[in-house]
Structures are given as C-alpha cells and as structure tokens.
Structure 1
C-alpha cells in the first residue's frame, strides 16, 4: 500500500472506510486493509435520503429501517471496543463524501464492492472521486462467497442461466477465499476533528418514521452481535444443520421459525457469507452425512451466489422489459389490476392463508420462503395476473432481508418469467396452507377476524353457513372480505394466458445458432 506523502512530513495513511453493506467488524477486508499502518481511520455510513434505496426509489418500510438502524448501533459499539466509532452523515454519497475526504485529507478509501446497479454506480463514482483526490481505493468483493468478476472470467463471460450450470462453474473455482481477521484496534478519532459533521446513529423518528408498536415490530433485531449469536445458536445441533433440507420446513411455524432466519443478517452483511460457508463445511465434516444442494444449507448459499451473479451479469435484471432472460408476459396494468394489487398488499384478498402471510410480512418484515412462494404465485400467474415487478416492490419495501438480486430472481421464478417454466404447477391459496396447518393456527394469529371460525371453514370462510359465521363473529363480506377471485376459474384462465405468451415468445425468438462442424 502506497500512502500519500505530505510536503515536509512523513508518510501518513489516512483512511476512510465507507460502510454500505458489510455492517460488521469480522471478515471485513476493507476495514482491515484501511486500518493497517494507518495514522487515522474514519468509519463512515452515509444515510441516503431514502435510506438504503431500492432501484425504484421507494422509501423502505419501518421494520427494514429499524433493522438497519439497529445494525448501525451495533457496528458503532463494536468500533468503540476497537477505540473508534461510527460516523453517520446524511445525504447522497456523491454529494457528502468528496467534501469530507478533502477536509480530512484522505489518501485511502476502502469499501465493499456491490453488484446492485444503484450501489455499483455509486461505488464507481466514489472511486473516481477518490482517485481525483490522489487517494488509493481498495474495493474487495466480500458480500458474496466469490468475486462476480472472477466467476464471469471463469465462464468466459457467458453467465450460467440455470442452477445446475452455476454449480459446475463453482466446482471449477474451489473454496472461497479464507476469512479475514478483524483489526485488533483502530486509531481514536479526535473529538473536534469533524466538528458538527459528526452525528450518531439516528432514530426512526429522526428519519421520519413513527416508532413501531410491539405488535408491528420484527422479532429479529439487527446487528453483527445478534447475527453471530444466532449463528452459534443454530449450529448447536450439528446434525440438524448437516441434514437440513429447506423444502421440508413449514411456512406456518411463526412462533419458532423452522429455518435459520439468517437471511437478514447476510443481506446487510452483519454476517459474513464466508464465515457461514466454512462453519457449514465444518458441521458437515463432523456429522459425516449431510444433505446436498439445492435443498441443503450450502445449497441455499449457492442459490444466493447464483442469483447475485445473474443480477450482476444480465442487464435490466430488475425489470421485465429489456431483460434478456425474462419472458415478456402481458400482465394486467388496468385499474382492475391495481385494485387487485391493493387487495393483495393490504391482506384483503378474502383468502385467509394469503392474507395471513401478507399480514405477517407487514408486521414482522419476514416470511418463510414457502409463504413467499404462495403469495407471489397468487399475485402473478396463479390468480390475479399482476406483474411480478409490482410484487417485488412490495417485498423490497417490507422485507428486512429484501435483497435486490434474490428478490428479482425469485419473483421472476414464481411468476414463471424466468428460471422456472412449469406454469401449470400452481399453488392453491386454500390447500397449500391447510397441508401444513389443518387447524388454522397461523391464520387465527394473523387474521383476528377469523379467530373463532371453525377449522373446517378457516381456509374457506365464505363456505360457512351464515349461522356459523354469526357464531364466529365474522360475517364474510362485512367483517372479512369475499374472495377477490375464484381460484379454480382464475388459475385455469391464467394458464391459458401463460401458454399463449410462451407460444408468442417462441415464435418471436431467433433460431438457435448452429455449431460449426469441426474439420476432419
């Protein structure tokens, strides 16, 4: 590392570490590199006006904002233990960071590489600004197991379009890079060096949100400390971790989720994916027998890597139009379609399992992956024929683990727009939930209007005789909405629409290129 020399003075490394994701001290190469032989280190987080903005510029939900703020508070505490603290500043990075770098005479800028279009562009702007100031830039790709540029080079710039192809690519790469050590200490920041520019981590109210009541607050607190505690807790049962198969978990286990719920911590980088990877490998070694991808926990990490690579490699990955791997489907954008979208988002579809899941999403900022599958299929190809982009926006706003690449990929998958094309396989908004929870405990918790409905009608309350509805204190059409559509009719009609869209896409696609014959 070359430090800039001030005239007449010794070499002095003055580092600014720009935290974006990677909200942790462990396995943080950008922080470690910035701290080595540095006279000054300034850890900075920039609170963008929309707070961790989505591609569409939608302000995120209160639970997701709360999770972010808790993660920043925890990071600040970790940095204080090292002798430093977190500096939070408000504004667009390109507006507030360059003046700060000039004021502090920064000659080293460190930040984690990000594949999302918004943050990738921000990173490129800041790298250019830093170089214009004569500063060195260190931008390691540590949010994923592998550097996406390395993966693209390995596949000759032809990114895999299926999970199977991706696994073959990963097999060529070997193990991910080793976990980086945490710095033992950081230089103390002088109290007067930043003056009024320094501010602590704000509150929800500071950011324009009302404080969340306990009933609407996610049960999963943010931060690196909680991430590592949860990781250790999950790995106490090595056999369960080794044999874990995600499809065998239940979408209705809301009190104690049957999955690890580590996804929010991976999304914000409170937990290093490499730490998770090597801990998994050790658990597999200890147990001997283990599940395999795609259903194992290692398989879940590889799904994450695959979708991150897709988001990095394919243009317009967050849209239908101009997206080279996305089917062009004529979704309903009419006023009627917008009304259906509002009913779905506000948990007023009249299908209790769907409404319970959407209520859990709003209250907890989290949903089991199978519940996500059910509500996504219902909104798109299953029942309402609304574009996956609209559902993606809602998830992006409300999920505490909303992850741009994974969110887009999964919505394309569930709408049969990409990755998965068996549109004739459709989730039933009635039978699917009942399979896991016949008594309707999940629905009774998240749809209070149906709390007293007998179990034989809990998934289809409109079929209950009026006397039963009266006894349950829930008149369908008054206290709880009638179904927004008839699933049996809508799903059949939508399958025909999908078949027509697929046929049209096939007729418009160029013929495959013939491989040139090798000369004998």
Structure 2
C-alpha cells in the first residue's frame, strides 16, 4: 500500500535591547522616542471620531508573554490611549489531526495565563477566530485602531502574512511596528555580512564577530490607575473569550485528560527555571534512564514565547559566569540554543526548507511509500520497545528527549523503514509541544541523512542503541507497560524471550505485544547500503564536474526539536 506523496511576572532589571524592530509612520500619527528607551512611544493626534484611538498589540503564537516583549512594551507606552491585546486563531488549526490535544491544551493554558497578567494592567486578552488578516482589518475599523505592534514570527512562510499586515496598515493609514524577539539574534541582520548559504562554521564565526546577544528587557511597569492610563476595563465580550477544548474540535472525554507535566504559561515558565538549572547541574554527563525521564525542559515555553529565549540565555550565562564547575553544563546548553538559531537562519535563506522537493540543501533520496509501516511507527506498535516507548510518550505527554527524537526519526527514515522524513515531521507537528518548523525540519533532515552530514554514515540499531543508554530498560517499562515484568536480558528484544519467560512476565509476544514489524538485520543493511550508494554517487559527480550538488555542511548536534 502506498503513501500519497507529501508536498505576569516581569523579568529582572536589565539594559534595554539595542534593536527595536521596524516602524513605519503615517500622517495620522506622530512619533516620539522615549529618552530612557529605544522602544518608540507612539503618540496619536486627536481622534475626530467619538471613539478613542486604540493601540492594538497583535499577540502571536510565539509571543505569549509580557517580559522581554518589545512589541507589547511599545504599545503599552502610550498613556491616555486605549490598549488592547488580541490573539487570533485560524479555524484551520481546530482539527485535532493538525494540531494535537496536548498542543491545544498548552496553548489555551498559555492564553489564560497571559490574560491574568494583562488584568494587572487593567486590560484583557481578546481572542478572535478567523483568518488573521481579515480579523485585523475588521478590528481596525470597529476599534478605531491607530497603531498595530507585533513580534516577528520565525516560522516558515510567516513573512507572507506579516507582509500582508504591513500592506493593510498602509491601505488603512495605520502605523504598523514589528519587533524581533523569538530568537537571540535578528536572523536577517546576521545574513547581511554573509548572504551566501551558511555552514555551521560560518555561523559560529559570524556570532563570534557580533558578540553576545542583547540582554532582555523588563515587562512594562503597572500604572497606579490603569483605567485612566489605558482607557479600558476588565469586561470581556463573549465573542472574545478564550475557547474551551470542546470548542476547538475535541470531545468532552478528551478534554478531561490532564497533562500536569506541561502546564502552559509565562508564570509557569519563569517558576520552572530553578528546577531546570538544578536538574541539569546534577545530571550525569552520560545519557541514562534518568536523562530520558527528566521533564524539566523549557523548550515548549520557548516555542510558544512564554519564555523569552534571551531571558533564558542570559539567566543561565550570568549564573555560570566564570565557574569552571559549570563549564560542561554551559557547553551543552549553548550547543542546543545555537543549533536552534542556526536552523532558523538557514531556513530564512532556503526556500522550501521544510519540504523534500525544491529544497536545495536536501538530498533527493528515493524514499519508499508504505502506509502500513508508517502507521505502526506513528502509533508505537513496531515491536521494537525502544521505538514504541518513545512514540507512546510523545502521544501521551507531547514531549520526548532529543536522543529519542533522533532514534524514532532514524528508524523511520534511513535506519529501517526508508520512509521520507516529511511524514515523520508532520507527526511531530501534530504532537510535539515544542515543534518549530525550521528547527524540526533541520533535525529531521539530519537524522534521515538528507542534509547536514559529514563523514561516514553511522550505523543505527534500535536494540543496541537503547541498551547503551538504559541497560535495565527503566524507560521502556514506564511507557510500554506490557513489558514491565520482562527481565533486562529481553526487554529490548522480547521476541527472543522463551515462551516460559513471556508467560512469567504476563505478556505473550504476538498477542499482548506485537512481533517486530521488520527484520532489522535485513532492512537496516539495505537502508545503509542505499544511503551509502547515493552519497558515493554524489561524491563522484561533484568530483568529476567540480561542482557541489549538496552545499557543504558541518555535523550539528541534534537540538530539542
């Protein structure tokens, strides 16, 4: 059978960020710059209508916070005018097939948390449903909007919507100001000095010449008289309230499922930082079961913008300061953060970076299309406990360690199934709390052998790889409960256990847990030979034609995606 081809709390006092974004003014506004800050104060002329001017802050899915949010601060620095923050969700996201339960729950919790923070400023978070451009045009008319601010989104193709919003501002004679904030650096500015395709080596050299990223900014001060300052009250019309899970496509039974491991929101993110530091400082430098079962990661909060990546970076950097004991911790932390920055930067250079086709950094490998194999992988029923445990944890919790992400990605692609990385990426899009298209696409291409490789291709075994990390199978016992009573000798290959051992463990292979869907000894060898043959062919063509079919890239560490 074939698969269809896929085409509240303020941050600490700190210097103000030294880049403020892009502003465009129109005749209806006069611009003043606060002498104490580089964030502009947008001062409207008097309104001829009875309704006061509104400064609208467009909240994006990657900017759900008050701290280190230049777009939010710019809109708030206008006392005597009405301020409103609006989050817009497109109905396209309502299907659980596209945006999974855990991701929706985390988003809704983050919106609720932001609404609580905004109430301290004397306003609310307005949530509107519809196509963002159409919604913004309607609100501009209904609310007498004179200015729009927003944080630039780094997702693939997000610039298309942003360009349309900027054009709408010109058409309606409204100021539109946009600001950076989802990455440590402005990726476009990084490319000014190096417009050609980046390698990781190039990237590190550019960062070395630029220096450390700007420090985060504080959240705006809460005024004593919020009503007089922002001209709004705490009432919220019914049509602008935050939706329930049942209202975005989930059943009542699904809505009752809880995920206390990952609760969304800025206030939660800031509270979790000490736990993150404590866990990382005491963890072994060698991966083990404790590493796999650790749930202190902050990557979901960075993805949704509940936690500023700059705030996170400088919190850790200031903590480790010149402490040699924390050098290993800092190296791992910086490696992951910079890999994320690298993929965002390359994605901004490469059209179709998230696709197999027409992607100039992606090897055009002749992938197979087998829907049955894909579905057993997707649902954690491959018969390989290491792979199934990871996929089941992903479904249940919405997060897995990067070692497990690399394992399931390699197994689906170049390791055993030889199925395109695009299909796996779509599953991560649905289920993974911290999914970011640019970063995940880069990691999937790396794991599948499609890009970012250097040197010989590593052999991968879904049995021995897990044994090296977790010899007793503690991780498997946690997420594949059918196998919890299997002895360690068979926990990674239960099909090899004698029937007597299976009965003793209370799990018959082939009945209570599936037999392996493939013979790894055979498929693993075939997949490895396929990839080696393609790499050899490319090497020979490049050598004979003195050209490069694949841009040279350095091996990258897999990041949180």
Q: TM-score, normalised by structure 2?
A: 0.83
Q: 2:425 aligns with which of 392, 416, 419?
A: 392
Q: 1:176 aligns with which of 204, 213, 234?
A: 213
Superposed, 1:60-79 pairs within 5 Å as: 60-79=99-118
Q: 1:273 matched to which residue of 2? A: 309
Cα distance in 1 for residues equivalent to 2:257 and 2:250: 16
Q: Secondary structure at the match of 1:217?
A: coil
Q: Secondary structure at the match of 1:412?
A: helix
Q: 2:160 aligns with which of 104, 117, 121?
A: 121
Q: 2:93 aligns with which of 45, 51, 56?
A: 51
Distance 1:486 1:444, change over 3 A: same
Check conservation: 1:413, 1:420, Cα contact below 8 A: yes
Matched, 1:24 2:77: no
Matched, 1:189 2:228: no
In the alignment, structure 1 segments of 5+ residues that lack a partner are 514-520
Q: 1:485 matched to which residue of 2? A: 518
Superposed, 1:454-465 pairs within 5 Å as: 454-465=487-498
Measured against aligned partners, the alpha-carbon deviations of 1:406-458 in whole angstroms (never above 9, x if no partner) come to: 11010001011111245631332111112222222211221122122222111
Matched, 1:225 2:267: yes
Cα distance in 2 for residues equivalent to 1:143 and 1:503: 39
Q: 1:90 matched to which residue of 2? A: 129
Check conservation: 2:387, 2:462, Cα contact below 8 A: yes
Measured against aligned partners, the alpha-carbon deviations of 1:314-355 in whole angstroms (never above 9, x if no partner) come to: 11100111111111100102xxx2111101001110001110
Q: CA RMSD in A?
A: 2.6
Q: Secondary structure at the match of 2:138?
A: helix
Shift of 1:233: 2.9
Shift of 1:484: 1.2
Distance 1:446 1:244, change over 3 A: closer
Superposed, 1:99-498 pairs within 5 Å as: 99-155=138-194, 157-162=195-200, 164-185=201-222, 187-190=230-233, 195=237, 197=239, 199-210=240-251, 211-212=253-254, 217=259, 219-235=261-277, 241=281, 248-250=286-288, 253=291, 255-257=293-295, 260-285=296-321, 287-291=323-327, 295-333=331-369, 337-422=370-455, 424-498=457-531
Q: TM-score, normalised by structure 1?
A: 0.89
Matched, 1:14 2:48: no
Shift of 1:289: 4.7
Cα distance in 2 for residues equivalent to 1:507 and 1:52: 48
Cα distance in 2 for residues equivalent to 1:363 and 1:379: 20
The alignment covers a number of residue pairs equal to 497
Q: 1:518 matched to which residue of 2? A: none
Distance 1:429 1:109, change over 3 A: same
Q: Secondary structure at the match of 2:452?
A: coil
Measured against aligned partners, the alpha-carbon deviations of 1:267-322 in whole angstroms (never above 9, x if no partner) come to: 01100011111112211215245436995212211111111111111111001111
Query: Relative CO higher for 1 or 2, CA cutoff 8 Å, sep ≥ 6?
Result: 2
Cα distance in 2 for residues equivalent to 1:66 and 1:251: 28
In the alignment, structure 2 segments of 5+ residues that lack a partner are 1-30, 32-41, 549-561
Q: Secondary structure at the match of 1:498?
A: helix
Check conservation: 1:294, 1:303, Cα contact below 8 A: no
Distance 1:82 1:3, change over 3 A: closer
Shift of 1:227: 0.6
Distance 1:178 1:442, change over 3 A: closer
Cα distance in 2 for residues equivalent to 1:183 and 1:412: 41
Check conservation: 2:91, 2:130, Cα contact below 8 A: yes
Cα distance in 1 for residues equivalent to 2:329 and 2:160: 33
Cα distance in 1 for residues equivalent to 2:308 and 2:182: 7
Check conservation: 1:344, 1:355, Cα contact below 8 A: yes
Cα distance in 2 for residues equivalent to 1:81 and 1:100: 23
Check conservation: 1:244, 1:297, Cα contact below 8 A: no
